A = this chain, B = another copy of it.
Amino acid sequence: MTHEFLIDIFKSAVDAVDPYNLILRKLNIKNGILKLFDENESFELDLNNFDKIIVIGIGKASAKMALGVENVFKGYDFEGLVVTKYGHTEKLTKFEVLQAGHPVPDENSIRGAEKIINLLKNVNDKTFVLTLVSGGGSALVSAPREGFTLADKQDITGKLLERGADIGEINCVRKHLSRMKGGGYLKLLKDSFSLNLILSDVIGDRLDTIASGLTYFDSTTFHDALKICVKYNIEGKVKEYFKKGALGGAEETLKEKDIKSSRFKNVIIGSNYHALLGAKKKAKQLGLSPLILTDELFGEAREVAKVLLSFARGFKKYHKGYDCLISGGETTVTIKGSGKGGRNQEMALAFLSELTKNDEGIYFLSAGTDGNDGPTDAAGAMASYEILKRAYEVGLNPDDFLQNNDSYRFFEQVKALVKTGPTNTNVCDVQIVLLK
């Protein structure tokens, strides 16, 4: 039964961040009054004050969010546009849908940005703009600043990655080459009133990071971007442009002081923590006593597995009060082998490979909320002493598979993969430990 419990709890975590459900649960309209309910804030808006409503969805989950909006806005006119990843669309009747490249932007990413800019051209204080933001947004819409092309942006990103720049440095540079990122999108909204509903796929839920901070101010400057060019030996027109910007000759990204906070609202309607709360609720329904440990898990997957196992052992011995440990986040895998797998399956395999007979009664699952762990058709996998025994019975040694980063082929054979199919949501990964 315990393996089934793991699956049930994980599925409840995913359900809790289903974009369609989230919109329906948190947003409704009665007598022209739009209401938003959220744990952290509630909010009302009289739609009668506006002449025009525009709904724009950007990101991998935006079509499913838009489907919710169609339902909530039944009987209301609006202009709708969704830019999502190829294949991530839904049957929408009131939205124009554009599918674009992810993780590598393509020509449709340029077209997506152009369409958005066009749609927002004539907004004014009588316009209400509802924006649906989710992960992937930064690749799906691409608006290079004048004088630069998509190829220029890709070229500099590639160079920075090669030369060891971190994600913060790369984002600083990209924001300063974009008309959308780093709050550029918010600038386009001018005096309109805007509500930005955000599904976070970023650990820590930083608004300046989700979809490269479309709807939030940027704390980095041209000066910072220039220093990064110097640090990584980047010459040419990008550096010249940053130099010009640092001297006041180009438009800065959106700054905190320039935000009119009365005219817009950013609300994170779904995040990894919401998924963990869904898991917690289900665990309680199953009669368990759950404890959420973190929604910011990070590190090398196979090492993280050891620490989670050490906590499982600790709680099994000393905290009879808690028998379900829930965590979430996003780990990394340093690939050394040639096998097939993903960070969740690798974590489950590393967990499994450390188990001994003393660990009977410890059950583990790690899986991605998007239903897609690495280049596989699984969301993740499970580990337990029973599964380890099953592996030995059929002559499989987990260490061999772990060494070859071949977690998928291992779990396929011991029938411990977690499969959900694509979920059209994404709030990173979830780990569940059950103690019996």
Contact = CB atoms under 8 A, between A and B. Distances in A.
Given A204-B358, A310-B329, A329-B310, A303 B294 contact: no
A292 B314 contact: yes
A299 interface: yes
B294 A299 contact: no
A37 interface: no
Interface residues of A, number: 27
A397 to B, nearest CB: 12
Tell me the number of copies of this protein: 2
Interface in A265-297: 273, 292-297
A143 B296 CA distance: 51
Contact of A298 (B304, B310, B315, B358): B310
**Which of A295, A308, A318, A329 is most buried by chain B, counting CB atoms within 10 A of its CB?**
A318
A190 interface: no
A306 interface: yes
A194 interface: no
A307 interface: yes
Nearest to A350: B299
A314 B273 CA distance: 10
A297 B310 CA distance: 5
12 contacts: A204-B358, A292-B318, A293-B311, A294-B310, A294-B314, A294-B315, A295-B317, A295-B318, A296-B310, A297-B307, A303-B304, A310-B329
Interface of A: 204, 273, 292-300, 303-304, 306-308, 310-311, 313-315, 317-319, 327, 329, 358
